Amino acid sequence: MWQNIRSVARIGPQADERGGYSPSRLALKLATSSTTDYDNTVYEHAPQGPKRKILMVCTEEREMTMRNGKKFSTGNHPVEMLVPMLHLEKAGFHIGIVTPTGRPVAIEMWAMPDQDPAVQDIYDRYRDAFANPDSLSDFASTLQAHQDIAAVFIPGGHGAMLGLPENEDLQRVIRWTLEEDLFMLSICHGPAALLAENLGESQTSFAYRGYSMAVFPDRTDKITPLVGYMPGHMPWFFGERLTELGVNIVNSQANGTCHRDRRLITGDSPNAANEFGKMAAQALLSESGA
């Protein structure tokens, strides 16, 4: 009996002080790590020309309501956000952070690799920017004033599925990146936010119709409640919606796949964060003439 009780305790999601749930101890052991595979790549040339800034669009939403009514404590995944930031910064790009209304960036702190010195360093240096980001709404209302932007980066974490896919300001920003031939970078659940481009439109008019992407697989999200990663089944699955809109998802597992299709660079999970960051940095430097 006591063995069964201990097993349930390890598998059951952990309640937090806000009434939500973070992953079980077993899920944390399986899906997170205290370090990352960030490899400190050195980029020999700095970006050339005026486009030296990355706009990072983050979620400010902290809770996903599951089908059973329980709330999953989420946000942006720290590895999928911070490791690519390390590469982009190392390549000479400056990173500006926005959330929809300027509220603090929501971060899945339970996934923070707290024994990785490089990740901890960049988190500490951007701590104030995460707490006091700019507003996506303000940015979207002054698009033509931002001629220094080389790419938009939407990091992962289930929080990217909250608010961003329905955000009209993000729709304007996405369409602006396409019109200006800028790069779009997104990893794991981040591509869910690209659904904002299709707001109010028919399925056949999706700007990324016919594109290929690497994303976090729906099939994995459907089984993670079994180990207590989430306190129930998700309300919707973004891979299904992307597929309905004509996107080709290139991976079936979260095995570190990264993919480039035109100006869109995607990765499938925290396992992809290092290679995704390198692929993005190298592509941006190449396009800048460095």
Which amino acids are annotated catalytic? 188
Q: 71-103: b or e for each residue (b if 16 or more CB lie within 10 Å)?
A: bbbbbbbbbbbbbbbbbbbbbbbebbbbbbeeb
- Helix (H/G/I), strand (E/B), else coil: 38: coil
Token pair of 85, please?
A: 């930031």
Query: Quick one: which of 118, 121, 145 has its CA closest to 134?
Result: 145
- Helix (H/G/I), strand (E/B), else coil: 41: coil
d(C-alpha 228, C-alpha 182), whole Å: 39
Q: Which residue do the tokens 């999928």 mark?
A: 80
d(C-alpha 58, C-alpha 53), whole Å: 16
- Helix (H/G/I), strand (E/B), else coil: 135: strand
Helix (H) or strand (E) holding 128: helix 127-131
Q: Which residue do the tokens 């690519």 mark?
A: 84
d(C-alpha 56, C-alpha 185), whole Å: 9
Return phi, psi of residue 256, to 5°.
95, 15
Identity at 88, one-letter amino acid code: L
